[in-house]
Amino acid sequence: MLNQIDLSRIDLNLLVLFEIVFQERHVGRSAERLHLSPSAISHGLGRLRALLGDPLFLKTPKGVVPTERALQLATSVAEILVRIRGVVSTATPFDPRDSKRRFVIGAPDGVSSVILPSLLETLRGAAPGVDLGIRQLLPVQGFTDPHLAWKDALKELEDRTTDIAIIPLDDVPVRFHKQKLYEEAFVIAVRKGHSFQRNPTLKRYCEMEHLVVSHTGDVLGFVDVELAKKSLTRRVALTVPNFIFALSVLAETEMVSALPRRFVEIHGARFNVVAVKAPLPLPRFSINVVLPKVAMMDAGLAWLVRLLGQLRIGNDRAFDLRSGKRNRSMHS
3-state secondary structure of 37: coil
Same fold, 102-182+286-331 and 184-276: yes
Distance CA 90, CA 230 (A): 59
Backbone angles phi, psi at 107, to 5 degrees: -165, 155
CB-based contacts of 96: which residues, under 8 Å, 6+ apart? Answer: 126, 127, 130, 300, 303, 307
Q: Percent of the chain at pLDDT above 70?
A: 88
How is domain 2-91 classified at the architecture level of CATH? Answer: Orthogonal Bundle (1.10)
pLDDT tens digits for 257-307? 999 999 999 999 999 999 998 999 988 889 999 999 988 988 899 999 999
Q: What CATH code would you report for 184-276?
A: 3.40.190.10
Domain boundaries, the chain: 2-91, 102-182+286-331, 184-276
90: buried, middle or exposed (CB in 10 Å: 19+, 13-18, 0-12)? exposed
> What is the per-residue pLDDT across 35-86, written as a single tens digit (0 to 9) for each?
889 999 999 999 999 888 899 999 999 999 999 999 988 888 887 887 777 6
145 secondary structure, DSSP code:
S
Q: Is the pTM of this model over 0.85?
A: no
The tens digit of pLDDT for each residue in 131-182 reads 999 999 988 776 666 777 888 899 889 888 899 999 999 999 999 999 999 9
Q: Domain spanning 102-182+286-331: which CATH class is it, in words?
A: alpha beta
Q: What string of DSSP letters covers 146-183? A: HHHHTHHHHHHHHTTS-SEEEES-----TTEEEEEEEE
